[in-house]
Amino acid sequence: MTISQGEKLPDVTLTKATSEGPEQVQASDFFAGKKVALFAVPGAFTPTCSAKHLPGFVEKADELKAKGVDVIACTSVNDAFVMNAWKDANDAGEITMLADGNGDFAKAVGLDTDFSAYGMGTRSNRYSMIVDDGVVQQVNVEGPGEFNVSSADHLIGQL
């Protein structure tokens, strides 16, 4: 079942990509006490994710923060090394990369999807959320092959 507005995020271990290497973090700790603009992509370095999704959040980071967002975070079913390389390749210093290497977070929020037909296994759906102190305020899930409601512009309109 997909997580809904008003629900608390599940306390799953994610891996934060840092310049010093992978750092495990509990979702409950990461999201506590802050407003987070969270977006998820099916995969780092994939076409829509690299051409539109991540660049939109990089470009709109100041606007999101001006609307009260403390942290902008991206999650994907990739490892922390890939997430950090993607961050560096896109000058995305304002974005905290949260690797969900085994898809545990995607499954726990009910937003995992099967990309086996593309040789990618289980991945995350494309979505965005506004999370305040660990509680989902907005959740925007894209349909297959779409990129509309998970954009930075859409989240700005919801804040």
Active site residues: 49
Which candidate, 141, 139, 136, 151, places its Cα nearest to that of 27? 136
d(CA 44, CA 54): 9
Q: What is the 3-state secondary structure (H, E, C) of the chain?
A: CCCCCCCECCCCEEEEEECCEEEEEEHHHHHCCCEEEEEEECCCCCHHHHHHHHHHHHHCHHHHHHCCCCEEEEEECCCHHHHHHHHHHCCCCCEEEEECCCCHHHHHCCCEEECHHHCCCEEECCEEEEEECCEEEEEEECCCCCCCCCCHHHHHHHC
Which candidate, 21, 34, 118, places its Cα nearest to that of 79? 21
